[in-house]
Chains A and B, each alone.
Chain A
């Protein structure tokens, strides 16, 4: 699904990722943990194609190089980023935005675009699954949403867009335990043999609810240790300083 080899990324001449390697197969869930400033969010941004980074190394998605592929095309090909800080877009209705987004993705995949009614049905179904209040969807996109609502909205979008590769960028930060469970349930119910996940997190807490196949520790722009979920437990005890 995703093949990252010797990835280097810098912004304004500052090196952030320094030779990062990860390989994710279909159906796998990988967690990346690391201290502040280790390059976690940069990795999420680079994978989604955000501009402004100087990049070298190999980045392959479904066997294809992502070098020349723009952010929106990556999204259409099934790469989804759940944002750490979902932005507010005033005046734009949440469900209209979602429908526009879904139809862009469907169109790119050669599927028929959905009319308002059939979309509404899907949206209701998915938001019920997540135990979300439908009223939220008629509000302006993320405007006045609580931190928890914003993250739930990200998970709802993930459910509706049905991507192949999901990147969760510190989706757990700032969530209370109830919201955290909803987010985790959303992820767990989406897991299957085809879908891959890259869960970026600061704390081990999330991994009590989402069981990773692999855990990597990111420090100073590269993976310094990889293992299974026991590694996360170990980190909890020793802290990042205990690694190396």
Chain B
């Protein structure tokens, strides 16, 4: 804990660890580990079978290697796949029973779990290492028929919904990390919005990796039934550690007829130190299916943390007239690397997609936008608009744009615009001359550059995200 005070005003203020007793699964990846996880979560047999099926698939699958950021081989047998605070063994029934140390941890992170001190109008599910520790506002949501709970609870209480939708967007055979997640996922959030219901508040999950040598494999499943609407936000942090920690989450979204899901991420995992030691490998699979007609899924991400960010939140536009959106800010500083973007798969008629990507690279970092727009044979009158802007700070960083465009329908159009620029000396001078120091000037200019994306965030988080943008780039100029 000796770092605690010195870290406070530095670049990563969430780097502290919580001293708490853990229960861990046996080290390494094996059938035994999977059975341990399934058992401790009191899962029904069908769930264990599903996991084992994924595990068998994993044995014959290989890690993908086409990405730009390379990383040393991960020793999957050296990891713990389950770690939970000991006090969670007999799950607390209310917030009053939650270990005060955990509550304190979340307070330190600015996430009050106490409902009296709640973030106004935001229901929070807090996931600590491998388990959900608390979900706020449950009662209020239940009255509207909305289910917002840890996925481990949904497996027990809402098996029909879980069976029907889990793996329906990201099949267990999808790719190595998605398959790994399917075998060993521990917790995450489950959301179901009943027909014609507008969720009255923002739903939010806050992920925290605490234990060392532990991977975090959460699984989130959100179903918006016909004519419903939900806005969901996830945030994440981790302590500063010299080792690289693996985070391989799967997020599946399903929007039925006329439903809309807005999913926002503010990702601030520990990025490693200035020399590139430590940091999270953020290898996440996020995919949404606009299954019904007139449905809409909108992804917004602010990616500032992690040593390597490797993710493509995607939309499968199956329903006619469905809409997919992707708004992204990816900031890489020091030795951070990001290879991120989206996939927009147009299957239905009159489907629309929009991609706005802002990549900012500083220090020795490397930032790649990679995106696929695929318009199928039957997706007549469909449109895509893509805009990718990259901003470089200094002369040791890199920015790359890799668009893949497939249009198999002659009545559909795809537009792609891309720009790359360096942070402008004249802009900095102008801001300095008006009394702003170098860091304030950078923050202002970069926030302006990102504005179209920041505007998409829910109000409560937009301010937080703006600050984060500034903090992530501290010391990158001058």
Contact = CB atoms under 8 A, between A and B. Distances in A.
A71 B435 CA distance: 7
Contacts of B431: 89
Interface string A52-79: 0000000000000000001110011000
A89 B427 contact: yes
B429 A71 contact: yes
Contacts of B427: 87-89
B435 A87 contact: no
A91 B451 contact: yes
A190 interface: no
B428 to A, nearest CB: 9
Given A50-B429, A71-B429, A89 B436 contact: no
Interface stretch (B199-207, B215-223, B256-264, B440-448): B440-448
B444 A92 contact: yes
B449 A100 contact: no
A212 to B, nearest CB: 23
B434 interface: yes
A167 B436 CA distance: 18
B434 to A, nearest CB: 4
A71 B432 contact: yes
The bracket for how many chain A residues form the interface is 20 to 34
Interface string A76-95: 10001101011111111000
B411 interface: no
B421 to A, nearest CB: 10
Nearest to B444: A92
A70 B432 contact: yes
A71 B445 CA distance: 17
Nearest to A107: B435
A72 B445 contact: no
A90 B429 contact: no
B432 A100 contact: no
Nearest to A52: B425
The bracket for how many chain B residues form the interface is 20 to 34
Interface string B390-430: 00000000000000000000000000000000001011011
A215 B433 CA distance: 25
A201 interface: no
Mostly, the B contact residues are helix
A71 B448 contact: no
Given A72-B436, A104-B435, A105-B435, A91 B449 contact: yes
B450 interface: yes
B447 A91 contact: yes
A100 B444 contact: yes
Contacts of A85: 426
B400 to A, nearest CB: 22
B437 interface: yes
Given A92-B445, A92-B447, A87 B426 contact: yes
Contacts of B449: 90-91
Nearest to B424: A87
B434 A97 contact: yes
Nearest to B434: A101
B435 A76 contact: yes
A140 B436 contact: no
A101 B449 CA distance: 19
Interface of B: 424, 426-427, 429-438, 440, 444-445, 447-452
8 cross-chain pairs, A with B, having the tightest CB-CB distances, nearest first: A91-B448, A91-B451, A104-B435, A71-B432, A92-B448, A101-B434, A75-B435, A87-B426
29 contacts: A49-B432, A50-B429, A70-B432, A71-B429, A71-B433, A72-B435, A72-B437, A75-B432, A75-B434, A83-B430, A87-B426, A87-B430, A88-B427, A89-B444, A89-B445, A90-B448, A90-B449, A91-B447, A91-B448, A91-B450, A92-B448, A100-B434, A100-B436, A101-B434, A104-B434, A104-B435, A105-B435, A140-B448, A141-B448
Given A71-B429, A97-B434, 7 more contacts: A72-B432, A91-B451, A91-B452, A92-B444, A97-B444, A100-B444, A157-B434
